[in-house]
Structure 1
């Protein structure tokens, strides 16, 4: 268990994309919005049927008389459609309908609402249709037009135009459009712009890496050698804190994304376990300053200020809600490891888990209502979620193998975790409703201890 014991290119692509992103359309009509709202936090999720219609070339309005409709699709059209479909497949409330399910095949002659026959789509119970149009200019430049159309009334729900598109931009365009669509449907976004830090085994060493939830932009953060554990993001997504197990002592390490540098700090007692950021930029970690393994508050100058959780037993795995008013942690103060909650204002500690004999690695949702954790069961470790408001618990994962190290995403809807279900440990995603697990591509080797962060502010 983790607590018991490229970028410059991406930046340029982001800048280019931001410069040439043109919003063509927005939500049109309250009736359309009403029929497409999804409460992803409610007790029952509505499933929306969505279809990705085949891409088409479209006339370029700047060049009258051109016959762009006669031009073949660019070679990257197929790969972009696959990227977009892969992105949308990460949203459990969407059901992607294949074009083969539509009576008569492709019902579209173009990419605009009036060019699509929505009747066969409605007969197949399709709620949304996504169209992809490629404008090919005489000079070879390409524009990409994306629309999502509601089949109920044939209106455009969302439309985007991306100009001077290059092949390198396409995965990011798929992410951006999927993020816009998620916000229209649920009122939340951020999933496609977020990033996951994790521990990856490299030979005999364990180093810190980051990757997008879809498996893009894999990047090695640390190259310190030895064992590096327990990454945790700062609230703004610009720093990572983690533990390095040195030859003689544990070191608290802080990586700055702006400089790429890693500060390393030691503490009295030579032990640093499970560091975590508070919303105000301070940190908390388990230290052994007085001989016991207690959780201490550490300020920005790396000075221990006061104990937050202390007892004769081991206190580890601090995690905080978005306000910093609640801290969850693991303690064996009653004999077996269980999950506890500290009210940061009053100092009152309450016990969260009462079932099971081994509950570890808690993560609290940003809104402070849910706590996910790993529990040892007769069939292996599994991820559970506890509702602090109702007191109810629910098992989210069912193996096979072991499921460990849960981490709430910034939206409080998705949860990342490590699992050995495929043999080696890999990172998977589920939701707080327990939707089927989805693999996060992290390359070869063991991947554990995910930590989910927001996208860095630009």
Structure 2
């Protein structure tokens, strides 16, 4: 059965029946970027020691970024100590090459090593090694991809970051934390009632979310490492749409305790909320800019849902979106350059991207049920929920919409994604 759109917007949510879901994702990349760096990734020598193929994970990460075109390595296995025949790799069309090795240490861990080559200039760009347990082999692969991405693009990679999302199987709702490619998913919370709107804290240690276990929307924060949680907002009426302030000390939330859906700021430990605006309109879905100086939100004060902004301390309200008559779910890129949001066009919900300086709006998708956009911490990718072939799925897209990766569960539906920050370690 087709899943109904579920939102906490302009009042209480509509509860829908979701198909069974699984924790693992199947990653499928489609599309070709306008400018891509050709790179070859050889099989790591000794990779037969482990079931996890490091080179394959690195390749999938780089492909998903939209910045790289993979040159077939032809099954070649090269370790990091072997100087490759760079002329051969140039003839294959590669500008750079990754090779490496995996070996078992005496304590049972694995030594993962790699080297990055500039094939065109004939230079060794750099090398690193990681001593990891078997369960951390994927993390090592993501860290290799991060290193390669940063050295070749000048931007930080996001492959070792995490995403949160929600599934429902039968009458069981679960909040998951997974690698940025969707693999290695771990259940953070399970409930017989809906869990929605997960939001990462700025340091990546906590998730705020909305639970319906009290048969109404209530806001909690959840410590990802320990599993402990704290009740943040359980006031009369609806408590929804938590958004962390960049300093992690407070959250913007939507409460209806004083009538209607209104914006408040509340301490991250709970307490008495401070109302931001005095209006008769419905204000909801707050989202902070990364510098903490601006709070974006959705309001019907102009007659239809549009995105507005105010200083978090309160003040004059400014309208942000003017294209279309129904715009919701704002997400601000960490670099402050972009606003992602959902617009409704002829009954279809589509992901949009606005360049903040010029106000230019681009439609990024050709799907019709997009929702819940969130930026990667390097501002180069967006994760969002949509429908594919009648099923709920998670997708990532580059900012030009050219390269998309499907993170679709093989047996179920996934939604409510939120991309975590860079590691603070």
Q: TM-score, normalised by structure 1?
A: 0.79
2:52, 2:229 → 1: CA distance?
Answer: 41
1:51, 1:77 → 2: CA distance?
Answer: 21
User: Secondary structure, in 3 states, of the residue corresponding to 2:155?
Assistant: coil
Alignment size in residue pairs: 397
User: Secondary structure, in 3 states, of the residue corresponding to 2:290?
Assistant: coil
| Aligned equivalent of 2:181, options 214, 217, 227 | 214
Q: Is the 8 A contact 2:326 2:344 kept in 1?
A: yes
Residues 221-267 of structure 1: per-residue CA shift (max 9 Å, x gap) = 22232111111111111111111124553211111124311223444
Query: Match for residue 344 of structure 1?
Result: 312
Q: How does 1:107-256 map to 2 (within 5 A)?
A: 111-112=80-81, 115-134=83-102, 143-163=111-131, 167-256=134-223
Query: Match for residue 90 of structure 1?
Result: 64
| Pair 1:80-2:80 in alignment | no
In proportion to residue count, which structure has more helix? 1
Query: Match for residue 2 of structure 1?
Result: 7
1:47, 1:154 → 2: CA distance?
Answer: 20
| Pair 1:318-2:282 in alignment | no
Q: 1:189 to 1:262 in 2, by over 3 A?
A: same
Cα drift, residue 97 of structure 1 = 0.9
| Aligned equivalent of 1:429, options 386, 390, 396 | 396
Q: Is the 8 A contact 1:192 1:212 kept in 2?
A: yes
| Pair 1:302-2:307 in alignment | no
Query: Match for residue 3 of structure 2?
Result: none
1:263, 1:246 → 2: CA distance?
Answer: 14
1:353, 1:139 → 2: CA distance?
Answer: 58
Query: Match for residue 52 of structure 1?
Result: 41
Query: Match for residue 20 of structure 1?
Result: none
Q: How does 1:406-421 map to 2 (within 5 A)?
A: 406-421=373-388
2:52, 2:80 → 1: CA distance?
Answer: 16
1:219, 1:143 → 2: CA distance?
Answer: 25
Query: Match for residue 303 of structure 2?
Result: 335
Residues 123-162 of structure 1: per-residue CA shift (max 9 Å, x gap) = 3331001112345789998643311111112211121234
Q: Is the 8 A contact 1:2 1:449 kept in 2?
A: no
1:138, 1:319 → 2: CA distance?
Answer: 49
Cα drift, residue 45 of structure 1 = 6.4
Bigger relative contact order (CA 8 A; separation at least 6): 2
2:108, 2:251 → 1: CA distance?
Answer: 52
1:329, 1:231 → 2: CA distance?
Answer: 17
Query: Match for residue 9 of structure 1?
Result: none
Query: Match for residue 29 of structure 2?
Result: none
- Which entry has the higher C-alpha Rg, 1 or 2? 1
1:110, 1:413 → 2: CA distance?
Answer: 31
1:446, 1:290 → 2: CA distance?
Answer: 35
Q: Which moved more, 1:123-132 or 1:432-441?
A: 432-441
Q: CA RMSD in A?
A: 2.7
Cα drift, residue 287 of structure 1 = 0.6
Residues 317-342 of structure 1: per-residue CA shift (max 9 Å, x gap) = 10112211111111111111111122
| Aligned equivalent of 2:322, options 354, 367, 371 | 354
1:304, 1:333 → 2: CA distance?
Answer: 26
Q: Is the 8 A contact 2:208 2:221 kept in 1?
A: yes
2:86, 2:299 → 1: CA distance?
Answer: 58
Q: Which moved more, 1:275-284 or 1:189-198?
A: 189-198
| Pair 1:397-2:365 in alignment | yes
